[in-house]
């Protein structure tokens, strides 16, 4: 290419660049100039979290609250939102009012028994009684802990008593003569020694004895310690989906203390389910002894009719309709045979037939046992 052609191309390029600049200037000179300060803020705060159509964008905190995954629920508080609906459908089971009374008795009995065991001022309080799935609870046990499997002899089933590490070291410290006002020393990351296990077993035996006494007014039962485990896998006493009653107890000994949790499957409580449905101790579900005695007295005064069956015969209906006045009906019954007496359709007595003061009479000699297969 020659030098003249190069100059012409450069002049054409310059003309095109000037045209583009002029067009950009016209578009940017209006009021619709996009400024960085006027750009919407997508941090999720305030009104800046709205899109052009008026649809509000939820931030992560609001989403967690809606789904029930907030920190308050994770720390032991009540869940809300979708998780509350799911949990209520999963663990909601029938209410057993008498269990509240039983665990209240357990709290009073444990307070006295643990004071005698530790010779210290022990306060036992009931935090809550709830219903949980066995598998969910076993996955939520904070380790290390001592899991005591006990058996209800009369009900032929098992339960679980969980002692957390804080209470284990507190009991060990108190029973071995630790001074008051000093917190117990915890050594984490090692299994419990034989001495610690034996001391905790002593406290568990006392607790199970109090639990048996708490159930005594309702139904006598003996809770005996079966074994003690530190691994939840070895303390499985029920299917993971089975519903259980969970009672959380708080034991305070001055500056020391911890938690005891009693887990009883509904299958274990099934033999006394009717008693646990009572609203108060000794409820009889509508039975009234005064009314029963009055009804019995009145029944003894009731008049009933007894029919003596002299004979029975099966006759076709057509033949019976042709009977005339004065016709005789013959039966196969003999005078020396025993006749049957009935009350309505039910046979009652049997005895020989005779005569008394010109009337046919029957003497009762045998009582006819009612037929067990009779629906009446």
Q: If you average pLDDT over residues 78-99, what whole number do you get?
A: 62
- pLDDT, residue 209, reads 92
CATH number of 303-323+330-376: 2.30.330.10
Sign of torsion over alpha carbons 194, 199, 203, 205: positive
Domain residue spans of the chain: 97-276, 303-323+330-376
Q: For residues 44 and 41, what is the distance between their CA atoms, to the nearest angstrom?
A: 7
- pLDDT, residue 42, reads 46
Whether this prediction's pTM lies above 0.75 is answered by no
Report the topology of domain 97-276. Chemotaxis protein chec (3.40.1550)
Q: Which residues, other chains included, contact 84 with Cβ-Cβ below 8 Å and sequence gap of 6+?
A: 68, 78
Residue 282 is given by DSSP the state T
Measure CA of the first residue to CA of the last residue in the chain; give whole Å: 125
- pLDDT, residue 288, reads 64
Mean predicted lDDT score pLDDT of the chain: 77
Q: For residues 56 and 253, what is the distance between their CA atoms, to the nearest angstrom?
A: 53
Per-residue pLDDT at 1 exceeds 80: no
| Percentage of the chain exceeding pLDDT 70 | 73
Per-residue pLDDT at 118 exceeds 80: yes
- pLDDT, residue 186, reads 58
Q: What is the pLDDT of residues 142-201, one digit of tens each?
A: 888 889 999 988 888 899 999 988 888 888 888 887 766 555 555 566 778 888 888 889
Per-residue pLDDT at 25 exceeds 70: no
Cα–Cα–Cα angle for 249, 253, 256, rounded to 5 degrees = 95
Q: What is the pLDDT of residues 299-315, one digit of tens each?
A: 888 888 888 887 788 88
């Amino acid at each position: 290419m020659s030098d003249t052609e190069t100059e012409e191309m450069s002049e054409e390029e310059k003309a095109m660049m000037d045209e583009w600049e002029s067009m950009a200037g016209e578009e940017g000179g209006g009021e619709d100039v996009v400024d960085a300060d006027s750009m919407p803020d997508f941090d999720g705060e305030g009104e800046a979290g709205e899109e052009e159509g008026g649809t509000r964008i939820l931030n992560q905190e609001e989403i967690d609250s809606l789904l029930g995954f907030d920190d308050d629920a994770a720390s032991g508080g009540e869940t809300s939102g979708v998780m509350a609906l799911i949990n209520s459908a999963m663990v909601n089971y029938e209410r057993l009012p008498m269990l509240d009374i039983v665990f209240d008795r357990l709290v009073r009995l444990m307070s006295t028994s643990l004071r005698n065991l530790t010779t210290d001022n022990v306060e036992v309080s009931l935090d809550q009684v709830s219903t949980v799935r066995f598998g969910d609870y076993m996955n939520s046990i904070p380790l290390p802990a001592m899991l005591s499997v006990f058996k209800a002899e009369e009900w032929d089933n098992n339960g679980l008593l969980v002692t957390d590490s804080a209470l284990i070291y507190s009991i060990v410290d108190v029973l071995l003569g630790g001074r008051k006002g000093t917190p117990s020393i915890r050594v984490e990351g090692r299994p419990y020694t034989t001495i610690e296990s034996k001391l905790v077993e002593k406290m568990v035996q006392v607790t199970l004895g109090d639990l048996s006494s708490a159930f005594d007014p309702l139904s006598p039962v003996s809770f005996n310690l079966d074994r003690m485990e530190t691994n939840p896998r070895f303390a499985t006493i029920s299917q993971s989906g089975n519903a259980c009653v969970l009672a959380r107890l708080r034991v305070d000994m001055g500056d020391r203390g911890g938690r005891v949790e009693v887990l009883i499957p509904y299958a274990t409580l099934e033999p006394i389910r009717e008693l646990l449905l009572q609203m108060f101790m000794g409820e009889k579900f509508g039975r009234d002894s005064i009314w029963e005695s009055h009804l019995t007295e009145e029944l003894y005064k009731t008049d009933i009719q007894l029919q003596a069956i002299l004979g029975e015969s099966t006759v076709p209906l057509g033949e019976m309709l042709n009977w005339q006045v004065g016709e005789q009906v013959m039966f196969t019954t003999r005078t020396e045979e025993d006749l049957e007496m009935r009350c309505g359709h039910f046979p009652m007595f049997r005895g020989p037939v005779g005569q008394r003061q010109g009337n046919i009479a029957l003497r009762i000699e045998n009582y006819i046992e009612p037929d067990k297969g009779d629906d009446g």
